[in-house]
Chain A
Amino acid sequence: MAALKPAETLSPPRSSGPLASWALRHVSTAIAALGRLARHPFASLMIILVIAVTLALPSAMHLLIKNAQSVSATWDSALDFSIYLQADISINDARRLADLIQQRADVEQVTLISSDEALAEFRDQSGFGEALDHLTVNPLPHTLVVRPGSADTAVMISLLHEELGNLPEADIVQVDTEWVRRFHAILDILQRSIAIGAALLGAAIIVIIGNTIRLDIQTRREEIEVTKLIGASDAFVRRPFLYSGLWYGLGGGLFALALVRYGLYAIEAPVTRLAGLYNSPFSILALDLAESLLIICAGVTLGLAGSWVAAARHMRRIEPR
């Protein structure tokens, strides 16, 4: 039995293609890290679940807003407003005025509701039917319902309100759809709050994963010392922990998608029933591909970030004694 001769040079031993061996090394480290998680399935699952819930929360809120926006999008064009004319304007004058306004470039359509039609409608809908018969004169004015042009901006619409309100024949201009814009403003605020909340929850994920990896580093302290002693670089020692973080993040992201999907499934039937009651073809919007990928990427990125922070902080301090 002949002893091994020392290598002639001190350069690292040859290997089959630097890129291929690099890739192979990463794949085997990744698989080993996954195996390590699988050896403690309960603990790993708990961490993945925490990350999943943390990711699913803002995702679900985002979906809520997205659906609210899609419902209210159709209300946008319905920025109709009503001009109640002075009581002494005759029906013929009202018709002439309606034709005049109709010719404006910033108006799409004008509908005249005569005082008689208005009273008839009121009689039908208010339930005061018989009481109204006792009126000797019709107290309701003629009304013009104006639909602004679809190309009008918010500024143009408010100018239109002002100009038409200043007509001598006009009594009151009533904008029925102001609340749509308020609603949109509220949605904007909510959306921004969710973005802030998501950022905070992202920081929480970094802390959770960082702490998990820190404990992992502590329990494997001896192994780290020994591998460093026989010449492992910081990058080599750090790599398995980064992959653990990556797996936690990826698992959390996928689990979050499943949670959101299950949540949607659970509320789909009642929402469809509600939409049916409103005779609306509305159906819930789910997460699209880009959003799903974004959630998974967020999980992976946060997982890597958390493990990186822990590894950078704690690995350096572990040196062979």
Chain B
Amino acid sequence: MANAQQAPAAPSPLLPTPTYFTRLRQRLNEQNVIFVIITVVIAYLVLVPVGTLVVASLRSNFLGFGPSSWTLHNYSSTLGASSFPSLIGTSLEYSALVTLFATVIGMALAWLYVRTNTPAKWFALLASLVPLIIPGLIDAAAWVLMLSQNGPVNNVLHAVGLPRIQVYSMTGMVLVQTLHTIPLAFLMGMSMMGSMDRSLEEAAAASGAAPHRTLRSIVFPLLRPGVLGAALLIFVLTISSFEVPQLIGVPAHEWVITTEIYNATSQYPVKYGTVAVLGMVVLVIALLGLYLSRRLGGMTGRETVTGKGFRPTTIDLGRWRWASLVLVVLFGLASLVLPVLALIWSSLLPVYQNPSGAALHELTLSNYTAIFNTPTTLNAAENTVIISVLTGAITTLICVVAAYLLVKTKLRGRRVLEFLATAPVALPSVIIGVSLLYWYLAAPLPVHLYGSVTILVIAFVTGALPFGLRFIEPAFSQISTELEEAAANSGATRFQVFTRIYLPLLRPALTAAFLYCFIIAFKELTSALFLYSAKSNVLAVSMYSMWLDGSYTTVCAIGVLMIAVLVIAVILVRKLGGSIHMAR
């Protein structure tokens, strides 16, 4: 029906040729208008940061008081600096190692979860879902404490004859970021393997092929494109990450691009050109990775495997299932149990000390009472909730309209809309933060948004767009167009169709999208670091400041409260919105 409205009417020989304005009026139906509005909104959100970054990288005096001209000097000085090769080398080494380990471990765990009779598999799922709501800063902080010289993890390693791990090292960086990323790889692998056609494996088995040969000849080739796509996405997310490189990498003299960008913005005078060029470097790498990832089907779920022939058969691991249980337990311990226990333990101490009988006498709730007696922290908490709710609501609203236009219409240009809405995956938070800061300082806008809550919402919505769309677009695809056609035939307006048919059917997906975007905003640190002010401070920044201030135990107390709030939010929203599939 909607498509019929879009079909250009054949000119009748009896009617006069439509004028330009007649044709324009025909095109200005409500669907096209909404399409233009939503495309302009998303284009503004996405192209402004990129455009600002490009300009900043090419200006001799960006945001300068004096004259400014076009130049390539920023590129030659930054890319030609003697330390640049090592910066790129470290960034690539760090991202590649994390990608390798997280992908291999995550996919192996996913295989055990989906395809085998490993005991207590629910633990692996729990250990993958809960860490998604733990802010990267908190996770890194917990591991810094656990891996201190005489920290509990190092003490255990020492007791079993293994060498201690120096947390401030490339090893420490890779270890902590890998543990933080495995859940993502696990969930992507679970989605991939859950929809895999098993008839081929069964055919191979029936033909007498040994399990390892089936694995090598059937399973691996089938999964390869999806796994590579997922690995590239992990690579993009890792090279854009900030918390672990800042908290662990900088002390270890291991600089990556994101920490160098932050460093360049923190020094006086600010090296605007260097910041922009480094932003362009990470943007190009991320775009390339995203492009390859999409080509291989990892991002959109268009894997080479299909749901056809799906049967919930499981592989009996025999005695090996106990070995797989150990793997699952180790993963759960490292990913969830240890970091959360470390946070709770630290939050109950006046000054951090490793667990011991003597330390038990020191336990106190003073950090928690201090939080509730600190107006700036409470103000940051209030801002965080407001910003997160707004981000969730606005992103969901934009994405539901965009998804409708993408899935339910055949409008020309909708692929541009899809490209724009998914492109922010390649926009690291550090770029969104820096470029929005520059844009709202430089652009001659009627209102000053610098330092306001609004600018943070804009940044977070931009970053959350691809994830919101990821939840809603597939849900739209599952709703038959016949429903819309039947309603339209019964005289329902498009608005009524949307609100009475689509919205109720989409409720679980919309709830999940809202919740995911809410969580992203709740824990976002990197872009907020560039955009916050005294009035618009948020909890993540407040925690980072306290970390720098040495208030470990207070940071951990806020972290525990944040996790508790997010868990409660997930439960509440789940109850309100019905079934939510975070692992989609």
**A and B found bound together:** no
**Chain B positions near chain A (C-beta within 8 angstroms):** none
